[in-house]
Amino acid sequence: DKKIHEKEEHIYIKLYKPEGYITTVKDQFNRKTVLDLINISERIYPIGRLDYDTSGLLLLTDDGDLANKLMHPKYRIFKTYEVEIKGSISEASINMLRNGVLIDGYKTAPAKVKLINQSQMNTSVQISIHEGKNRQVRKMFKKIGHRVIKLKRISFGNINLGGLSEGQWKYLTDDEVKYLKR
């Protein structure tokens, strides 16, 4: 009768990922990875992905069960992004995002969208989605005729960057871990 030794404490980290890092454990092309920013000896893995040219909140853990649960679409955890786009955006375009747009042969789930700041040159928008398809936010804006200049994830459900600067990380609080495990 073998007993499986299960580790008592898992590691849960939030990182403010800068642009120019890839969200992977190892890179075959020797590019900088998000793990280069976190100086701990334990093996941890990113929960989901942020593109090379996207900055913002990334969660990492050694808790594989929780990571898989959090990435499953049925849990509908909203991820919120600050998006800077070229030009100004119409109310009709915002409503298209709110209703879902067709990208890569499927219709995105409705997004929560808030206009933050608008000028002739650039517009800042906050968008929350619970899906996480590859480059989804960029593709959604492209579909409505806007190129994304800057993309930053500011929250994962109730967890936000909480005063971190680019490249900084910290362990999640007990409340943040409880929120993820609920």
Cα 118 to Cα 74, 80, 144: the distances in Å are 34, 19, 16
Sign of torsion, CA 67 63 165 22?
negative
- Positive/negative CA dihedral, 131, 136, 137, 141: negative
Q: Which of 1, 51, 53, 62 is catalytic?
A: 51
Q: Is 93 exposed, middle or buried (0-12, 13-18, 19+ CB in 10 A)?
A: buried
Asked if residues 11 and 61 have their Cβ atoms less than 8 Å apart, the reply is: yes
Q: Which residues pair with 45 in a beta bridge?
A: 61
DSSP string, 110-132: P-EEEEEEE-SSEEEEEEEES--
Helix (H, G, I), strand (E, B) or coil at 173: coil
**Is 51 in a helix, a strand, or coil?**
coil
Catalytic residue status for 65: no
Q: Which residues are catalytic?
A: 51
